[in-house]
Structure 1
């Protein structure tokens, strides 16, 4: 008996945490970021994103150093090497936050055990799970007692909580992908908030991972169907409507979205920095 097309296995949908969160936040921004060609022009750099990237890059380079050279002084020097003024109000503000970032990183390496080599730094992980292929780049993966731990650095304005770690779909998908990629057990996720020196952690169960996976599968099916319908000639504004809200003030595609512009004034590129003090 010959199988019909309905019996053929479905193609898995590749997803990253960024794609999923963009779709949920605003389908129009998803279309502009991932489907429109040429891609609409993006806005300029954001100071808080620059700050976060510098800290991430400095810590990656730090753990690439031999253990004997992993000192707070080395961490401060790496912040300087990776620094950028993009998005800041000017050189004075940039210099103030450069000093702050150097202090965060120096305190972090002084107060934590940095003698162990991570299993992965900026490691790409990918695995089929259910109807999707979950993939993405993890800031750091440690090994503890035969299991791997997913670590995500954060530099935002506020300290993070256990609920933040528990509810993070990105971290849950990284767990699922890391298990397959590294072939090791993995349940623990950690958010390392450098400004406060705190760690928010969560131990996932199979049930909690399944809940995250199911939500990811539902969102992936939605944007996959919308994309297929668009390719078949569907109306882009109907399939990918603008989700208007406060986020329109800092959307990278604001200049190409009339609804977003009407939602409120544009935010200054340094407005989401934590206040100095």
Structure 2
């Protein structure tokens, strides 16, 4: 028996393999799911987004920081790692890119100064995977993904996710995050330690939003994941049987169409909202 009392000893014939990103994409817009994961060759996409570049740089700098011995994890070294990882993709111009490079250096240096980074995490950008079920029966899906950081505190695992967006997260966002919950379940199974605490670390504000799950709250997230996995697998099978792609994977339009990666390949999305500029989602 593992966390939540799941019985991993009996395997059904077919398990749907999902990641938090796949589930979120399908929930957000089935057509974007199809364009992202099913259509080959991959349809035309937009260019790079500055906020994605910024987030990747910060994540890569922190990953590189934890590759260093603890005594070398200083604010100054952390800031230097940002500069080493930097690129200008998606920014309006060189001036804007330079401004955000300096901001990112300050964010990461402040993070290292005000948080204990002396302990070695059990995982950095760690891939975790587990067969799971929302009930006590045999597994119905495999959840997997790459966690930003997994700490060990007092014998239990803690999932840490870095954020660089406009808005500071709170406890409710941490508790409601399906991705963090699924990482917790998969990490507990992969690393054979209990995992209930999840944390969102917002670099621009220094906010740490934390939540402590229970078996019941994790089970509810698994139930949601299982329902979505069933829907996307049914849609995938129906498409493979010859159904119309746009009917099986309809566009779910809204304001988010302005910054969708597949906007060039989706006429409905182009009509739903004007195109966002590649730097509009940057934290102020």
TM range (shorter): over 0.9
Query: Of the candidates 212, 215, 218, which is equivalent to residue 206 of structure 1?
Result: 215
Contact 2:164 2:283 in 1 (8 A): no
Specify which of 143, 147, 150 is matched with residue 156 of structure 2: 147
| Structure 1: runs of 5+ lacking an equivalent | 1-7
Matched, 1:185 2:188: no
- Displacement of 1:10 in angstroms is 3.8
1:168 aligns with 2:171: no
Secondary structure of 1:31's partner?
Answer: helix
User: 1:122 is matched with which residue?
Assistant: 125
Q: Counterpart of 1:33?
A: 36
Q: Does residue 82 in structure 1 map to residue 85 in structure 2? A: yes
Q: C-alpha deviations, 1:225-276, integer Å up to 9, x for none?
A: 000011001111110000010011001111111100111210000001122x
Task: Name the structure 2 match of 1:244.
Answer: 253
Name the CA distance, whole Å, in 2 between partners of 1:273 and 1:259: 25
Render the CA deviation track for 1:58-85: whole Å, top value 9, x for unaligned.
Answer: 0000011011111111001100000010
Aligned residue number for residue 57 of structure 2: 54
Is the CA contact (8 Å cut-off) linking 2:148 and 2:162 kept in structure 1? yes
Q: Secondary structure at the match of 1:29?
A: helix
CA distance in 2, matches of 1:212, 1:136: 15
**Distance in 1 between the 2:277 and 2:13 partners?**
45
> RMSD in angstroms over aligned alpha carbons?
0.9
TM-superposed CA distance for 1:196, in Å, is: 0.6
Q: CA–CA distance in 1 between the matches of 2:221 and 2:164?
A: 24
Residue deviations 1:126-167 (CA, integer Å, cap 9, x gap): 000011101000000000000010000000101110000000
Distance in 2 (alpha carbons) for counterparts of 1:135 and 1:59 = 22
Alignment partner of 1:22 is 2:25 = yes
Deviation at 1:9, TM superposition (A): 3.2
In 2: Cα distance, 1:112 partner to 1:250 partner: 33
Structure-1 separation of matches of 2:221 and 2:280 = 32
The SS at the match of 1:95 is helix
1:106 maps to 109
Q: Deviations over 1:7-30 (max 9, x none)?
A: x93411001010000000000000
Q: Distance in 2 between matches of 1:129 and 1:177?
A: 8
Give, in whole Å, the separation in 2 of the partners of 1:100 and 1:85: 14
Match for residue 235 of structure 2 among 209, 226, 229: 226
Other-structure match for 1:4: none
2:280 aligned partner: 271
For these two proteins, the number of residue pairs brought into alignment is 268
Instruction: Show structure 2 runs of 5+ residues with no match.
Output: 1-10, 134-139
